[in-house]
């Protein structure tokens, strides 16, 4: 039995915090550290302690992290963008190595779980999925990776894709994806029949990319909510991006938000730099679960990103006009607990009985951490410091606190 006390930390609310860890799990936490005979004591010296971050939307098979820098190539249409992507990826190193490099980078920033969308369609088969699954296996126990079979090229407009999506779920993808049922596939009913049919038959979750604009996109959200409700899939369906919610007025948002909340459909937003995006606070007020992720990172779609979810929380707050501490903490929640809930992570967070995995950040509270997104992070997994944290906090003193 090994006892460890982490003292002189602060929680997200800025109040003093200690953690009593036994055999890698949190035995107790609170404001005043108890005396524990024989415990190894680590002084965190005023650092903010947060649970590990959750990236609710990432594309490990597309990124060039780990490869050379590739200047962005403009495209006039979605199909042209897809063609450029295929050309560039064909000339890039194997997926597994690039995925491994991006996972390592994200983990160094404190990410402990992610939902990864992997291209699966009639043009790629399961090659990308198998490569990312191999990378996932290397990180098992350190970063929990949930896989989405993502039909980037379309479902109905790319013949043969439905069978590949089903095959991907049977081989280990936990989520079946979709994309723009009307504007890309020109067959909303057909795509949703396919995606919801696979989920219903195989017990998979659903996560649909939806870039469709304005009222058209809002109508699509209503269709997705209705199918979710009819099949009893509450809590198992998410819509990524949902740009339409940033295009329409408050009344339209309120109307569809009620439908989404009643059906248990979550919304993922990464607050993209060049597009309207969902009003986070309005959705949360209506009872809709909202979470965030990095989305594309240094790939053929855009050159930005580094895998840092605290920085993503800052971007959510920046673009949403979050200034108060309460709103900044909301952005932090989107990058942590909200994403963990959508992914269904068990034992997540700084709670008694959970694994003592956390991030120490040089900030006085969670709001300040979101506002500044300090790059320095110290990681602790299973109650022990790892990486740079060993050098900075590895010296412990035995005895009572």
Determine the Cα–Cα distance for residues 101 and 272; give it in Å rounded to an integer. 23
Confidence (pLDDT) at 395? 61
349, 41 in Cβ contact below 8 A?
A: no
Whether the CB-CB separation of 105 and 306 falls below 8 Å is answered with yes
Structure tokens at 376: 């320095």
* Per-residue pLDDT tens listing for the chain (401 residues): 689 999 999 999 999 999 999 999 999 999 988 888 889 999 999 999 999 999 999 999 999 999 999 999 999 988 899 899 999 999 999 999 999 999 999 999 999 999 999 999 998 999 999 999 999 999 999 999 999 999 999 999 999 999 999 999 999 999 999 999 999 999 999 999 999 999 999 999 999 999 999 999 999 999 999 999 999 999 999 999 999 999 999 999 999 999 999 999 999 999 998 899 999 999 999 999 999 999 999 999 999 999 999 999 999 999 999 999 999 999 999 999 999 999 999 999 999 999 999 999 999 999 999 999 999 999 999 999 999 999 999 765 555 44
pTM equals 0.96
Q: How far apart are CA 363 and CA 85, in angstroms?
A: 39
Maximal C-alpha separation, the chain: 68
pLDDT for res 400: 47
Q: How far is CA 320 from CA 271, 279, 286, 307, 338, in A?
A: 8, 7, 17, 20, 17
Question: 12 near 21, Cβ under 8 Å?
Answer: no
List phi, psi (to 5°) of 326: -60, -45
Contact 47, 361 (CB under 8 A): yes
Nearest to 54 by CA among 144, 122, 130, 136: 144
Closest C-alpha among 9, 101, 7 to residue 46 = 9
DSSP-derived letter for residue 349 is S
Cβ atoms within 10 Å, residue 101: 19
Backbone angles phi, psi at 359, to 5 degrees: -120, 135
What is each CA distance from 21 to 35, 54, 382, in whole angstroms? 13, 22, 9
**265 closest CA partner among 352, 333, 196:** 196
> Torsion over CA of 177, 345, 328 and 5, rounded to 10 degrees?
-160
pLDDT at 69: 95
- What is the predicted pLDDT for the residue at 108? 97
Neighbours of 362 (CB within 10 A): 16
What pLDDT is attached to residue 401? 44
pLDDT for res 78? 83
Domains of the chain: 3-51+349-398 (2.30.40.10), 57-343 (3.20.20.140)
Cβ within 8 Å of residue 208, ≥6 positions away: 177, 178, 179, 181, 195, 224, 237, 238, 239, 240
Q: For residue 397, give both structure tokens.
A: 């003193």
**DSSP of 165-219, one letter per residue?**
HHHHHHTT-SEEEEE-TTTTTS-HHHHHHHHHHHHHHHT-EEEEEE---HHHHHH
pLDDT for res 33? 84
Q: How far apart are CA 280 and CA 246, in angstroms?
A: 10
């Amino acid at each position: 039995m090994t006892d460890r006390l982490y003292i002189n930390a602060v929680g997200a609310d800025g109040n003093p915090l200690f953690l009593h860890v036994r055999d890698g799990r949190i035995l107790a936490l609170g404001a005043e550290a108890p005396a524990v005979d024989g415990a190894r004591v680590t002084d965190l010296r005023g650092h903010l302690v947060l649970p590990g971050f959750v990236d609710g939307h990432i594309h490990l098979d597309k990124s060039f992290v780990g490869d050379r820098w590739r200047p962005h190539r403009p495209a006039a249409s979605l199909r042209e963008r897809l063609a450029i992507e295929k050309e560039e990826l064909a000339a890039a190193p194997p997926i597994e190595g690039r995925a491994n490099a991006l996972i390592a980078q994200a983990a160094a920033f404190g990410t402990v779980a992610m939902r990864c969308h992997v291209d699966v369609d009639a043009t790629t088969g399961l090659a990308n999925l198998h490569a990312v699954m191999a990378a996932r296996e290397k990180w098992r126990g350190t970063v929990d990776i949930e896989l989405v079979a993502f039909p980037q090229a379309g479902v109905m407009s790319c013949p043969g894709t439905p069978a590949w999506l089903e095959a991907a779920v049977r081989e280990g993808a936990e989520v079946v994806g979709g994309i723009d049922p009307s504007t890309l596939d020109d067959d909303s009913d057909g795509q949703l029949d396919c995606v919801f049919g696979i989920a219903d038959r195989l017990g998979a979750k659903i996560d649909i990319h939806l870039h469709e604009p304005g009222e058209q996109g809002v109508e699509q959200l209503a269709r997705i909510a209705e199918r979710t409700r009819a099949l009893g899939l509450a809590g198992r369906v998410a819509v990524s991006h949902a740009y339409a919610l940033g295009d329409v007025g408050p009344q339209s948002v309120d109307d569809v938000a009620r439908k989404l909340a009643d059906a248990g459909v979550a919304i993922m937003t990464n607050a993209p730099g060049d597009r309207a995006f969902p009003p986070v606070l309005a959705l949360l007020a209506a009872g809709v679960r909202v979470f965030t992720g990095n989305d594309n990172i240094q790939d053929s779609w855009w050159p930005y990103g580094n895998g840092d979810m605290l920085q993503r929380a800052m971007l959510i707050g920046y673009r949403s006009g979050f200034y108060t501490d309460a709103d900044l903490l909301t952005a932090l929640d989107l990058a942590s607990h909200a994403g963990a809930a959508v992914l269904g992570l068990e034992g997540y967070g700084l709670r008694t009985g959970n694994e003592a995995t956390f991030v120490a950040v040089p900030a006085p509270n969670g709001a300040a951490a979101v506002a500044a997104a300090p790059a320095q992070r110290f990681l602790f997994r299973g109650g022990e410091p790892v990486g740079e944290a060993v050098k900075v906090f590895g010296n412990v003193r035995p005895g009572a606190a």
